[in-house]
Structure 1
Amino acid sequence: MAEAKLKKSIGFGAALSTVAGTVIGTGVFFKASAVTESTGTVSLSMLAWLIGGLITICAGLTAAELAAMYPETGGLTKYIEYSYGPFWGFLAGWAQAVVYFPANIAAISIAFGTQFVNLFGLKAIYIIPAAIICVITIMTINFISVKVAGKVTTIALICKLIPLVAIVVLGFFHSGSEAFSLFPVTAGSGSPFFTALGQALLATMFAYDGWIHVGNMAGEMKNPKRDLPLAIAIGIAIVMVVYLLVNGVFYWIKPISEISGNLNIASDVSNVIFGEIGGKIITIGILISVYGGLNGYIMTGMRVPYVMGLKNKLPFGKYLSKLNKSGVPYISGIVQFVIAFFMILSGKFDAITNMLIFVIWLFYTMAFWAVIKLRRQQPDLQRSYKVPLYPLIPIIAIIGGLFILISTVITQFGITMIGLLITILGIPFYVYLNKKYDLN
């Protein structure tokens, strides 16, 4: 029987829109507060968004070579497994199943709760209940109908562009803040430059996250060698420009003191630009955008433990791989909800995102090195796409990854150790499952 092959039907336009649509999400509305709190200045904040975008472009171009080599379901987990062996592949999957996706679900739901409370003028104690209810409603929709859940994502994609376009187009026509200055690039008083930059970059990485999924379409592209690097470079460059413009409007309208640590800055700026009623309409658009983004992570997240369960790569795999009548891995979804629930109770948006970015960038950086590793070990392996300007682009991605990881350990030691500990907890499970099912 002939092996089924992916249809090569994706052109440059579809790839480009997928890049931009995947990356633009919750972070652009909620991470200006953390970036500003870290830097203390407009100039260094804007530089952090720029460097974060450039690192992401190099990361996307590098990881895409692995995606083109292994165009199959599994993404990052498969890249790591093929490059370093089944143990590391398992650990990458474990980290995504118990840290990355639950933490994303928790962080985005907290952002939703924060914005919801702000919109209706409720007390802060209602943020966590609103976040939990938000997750439960999306989880229920997913359990009932995958088709309806998909429509939620489509509607949210349109809604998240409306606030961005409105803020950028009209924001700079408003009278600016006297403190707005891009030069010289300095850190705030009492903050070492590179420490402040490292913390700010960590915050931007959450906003730019999502690029790893773009390479998964390599096997379905008509001309991946030409279109994939262009789609990634141009797509992320567009995202970077949008992020710079949106944050530029924030700094143009509001002083640093009102942005730092303020998760409602997008809503506050919208109120200034459009008035109270217009600001509320924009805030509703942001809420729908966040709701859709959360739906996307719940849809994809619950399928990671499901796939691992099918292959006996998680404890209680036979339960995690069960589907309900709608064909949804509901037990996997419930498990991720329980993990996310305890993270939501902390109410710490930035701490949760810092943890998930640290953990996932451990494996991202391994993937970047894998490109160089495989070029040396398997030079004759067929590659429909090769990263341009090799080895410069992969080296920039690796250096960027190492800088993010090291600076995070230095400045966020406690939260990084929690993320690392949860990841390491997967090792005894691997040892047990490997003895029982021979995962090699």
Structure 2
Amino acid sequence: MVGIGPFVVLSVVAEAMNGPWFLYAWLAGAVLSFTDGMIWSELGATFPEAGGSYNFLKEGFGPKWGKLMSFLFVWQTMIQAPLVIASAAIGFAQYFGYIMPLTTVESKLLSGGVVILIVLLLYRNIETIGKISVLLWCGVLVTMVWIISGGMLHGNFLAPVKHMNDGLQLNHAFAAALGFASVKTMYSYLGYYNVCHLGGEIKNPEKNIPRSMFISIGGIAVLYLLMNISVASVLPLEKITKSQFVVSEFIQEIAGPGAATLATVLILWVAFASVFSATLGYSRIPYAAAKDGAFFSIFAKLHPSKNFPYISLLFLGGIAFVFSLLFKIKEVINAILAMRILIQFIAQAIGLLLLSRKKGRSFFKWRMPLYPFPVLLAIVIWAGIFYSTGPYMMLSGVAVTVAGIIAYVIKQQINKRSTTGKM
């Protein structure tokens, strides 16, 4: 979950909120993550299979519409998953500029190189990957602890909390700013559900999938809030809103240039760990769909000796490499959410409602409290986030969905002709 996102968007969120109340955007992201995490927990614990949302949508919408919804999910995944991977790689290259200024070409080469290295590291079995993940997480923990302790020791740590309501007016302007800023904070929270994509490889999924998500969301929400409070306790808001390397400049303020360079290296470590985790999870989605006969069969192939979906990994990595050469990170954050909200988050929540009505609440291996309120709340908030991505991105999300529906119809016609021909 902790990638380049919080370090890149921290200043963007502060600028969008334009006041000490920018912490509310990070709280809003935590609330939505917890609420949506309940949906993922019910579905993930009940259907612990590789592919996550692909299976959830198929089960939730039933035999007829489930095929269409699961196809649309894989369709948009083939576009947005490489965007997610590329965005982190692009952010990595952007933040690297604090250590060594790069030309545009050099920055693109670096971001593309990150994607290639990630694919090479993931080209192995899940047991080895688990060991690599633990090593990467150690770097994440060290970085966050350093940032937070720096504010506690050198800043007026409680001041940002005491003054977060100064001048706050609950009006349309605040709501609009909160929506725009929450798009950025949600980008930083994304990843809490990755364990569901690996459901078939998780031991005791009924307990470990929900536990994994809620521990992750709770821990990361606390870390993000403390990190923002720490930075704001040392740097003035005006400097935060204008900085491209706000955390590096924060460390430079309290410990000098050498320490700031070291902190930047650790931030790059964090970004790398996040790309690693995201690519691992996404590579299982086309595999699950192909294995189920709903996507191109080539993606169902497993490595002959290491038993992982290598075709899926190589394809997504290749598309992510191309995207990393074409885009800037701020261009893809809104696009990522706009493409995912309709089919993955909102449709998945609706699917849970339909499945609960059909099967009953006792059908689920894990059940959320206060059902169906969390599901309805998640749908409303996701709709607000979708609106906040802006007209162009909303239209792009709808266009991708429509294109997917057309592709599905064509695929069905081809299948019918193929079946007729064999008969």
TM-score category of the 2 structures, normalised to the smaller one: 0.7 to 0.9
Q: 2:204 aligns with which of 221, 224, 228?
A: 221
CA distance 1:262–1:308, change in 2 (3 Å): farther
1:174 aligns with 2:151: no
Separation (CA, whole Å) in 2 of partners of 1:41 and 1:332: 44
Q: 1:433 aligns with which of 396, 411, 414?
A: 411
In the alignment of these two chains, the number of paired residues is: 408
1:388 aligns with 2:365: no
Matches within 5 A, 1:18-57: 23-43=1-21, 45-57=22-34
**Equivalent pair of 2:133/2:277 in contact (CA under 8 Å):** yes
Matches within 5 A, 1:35-434: 35-43=13-21, 45-84=22-61, 85-99=66-80, 101-123=81-103, 125-143=105-123, 149-176=129-156, 180=160, 181-184=163-166, 186=168, 192-214=173-195, 220-221=203-204, 224=207, 232-233=213-214, 235-260=216-241, 262-315=243-296, 317-318=297-298, 321=301, 323=303, 326-362=306-342, 363-379=344-360, 382-408=363-389, 412-434=390-412
**Equivalent pair of 2:50/2:285 in contact (CA under 8 Å):** no
**Equivalent pair of 1:62/1:371 in contact (CA under 8 Å):** yes
- Give how far 1:355 is off: 1.2
- Unmatched 5+ residue regions in structure 2? 419-423
Identity fraction in percent = 24
CA distance 1:126–1:312, change in 2 (3 Å): same
CA distance 1:324–1:285, change in 2 (3 Å): farther
Comparing 322-331 and 261-270, the one that deviates more:
322-331
Separation (CA, whole Å) in 1 of partners of 2:311 and 2:365: 38
- Unmatched 5+ residue regions in structure 1? 1-22
Cα shift readout 1:67-102 (whole Å, capped 9, x = no counterpart): 222222221111111112110011112212221x10
Under a length normalisation based on structure 2, what TM-score does the superposition of the two structures give? Answer: 0.85
Cα shift readout 1:374-407 (whole Å, capped 9, x = no counterpart): 2222226522221101222222222211211122
Cα shift readout 1:115-157 (whole Å, capped 9, x = no counterpart): 2222224445532221011112222333477666554332211
SS at match of 2:50: coil
Separation (CA, whole Å) in 2 of partners of 1:191 and 1:110: 34
> Residue type matched to 1:106 in 2?
A
Cα shift readout 1:287-323 (whole Å, capped 9, x = no counterpart): 11211221222223233223333444335x3367464
> Residue type matched to 1:138 in 2?
I
Separation (CA, whole Å) in 2 of partners of 1:391 and 1:259: 40
Separation (CA, whole Å) in 1 of partners of 2:233 and 2:322: 37
Partner of 2:421: none
CA distance 1:382–1:191, change in 2 (3 Å): closer
Separation (CA, whole Å) in 1 of partners of 2:369 and 2:206: 15
SS at match of 1:120: coil
Separation (CA, whole Å) in 1 of partners of 2:216 and 2:321: 34
SS at match of 2:153: coil
- Give how far 1:111 is off: 1.0
> Residue type matched to 2:369 in 1?
P
Cα shift readout 1:320-358 (whole Å, capped 9, x = no counterpart): 746476555444334323432343234421221221122
**Equivalent pair of 2:206/2:366 in contact (CA under 8 Å):** no
CA distance 1:301–1:282, change in 2 (3 Å): same
Partner of 1:15: none
> Residue type matched to 2:97 in 1?
V
Cα RMSD (Å): 3.1
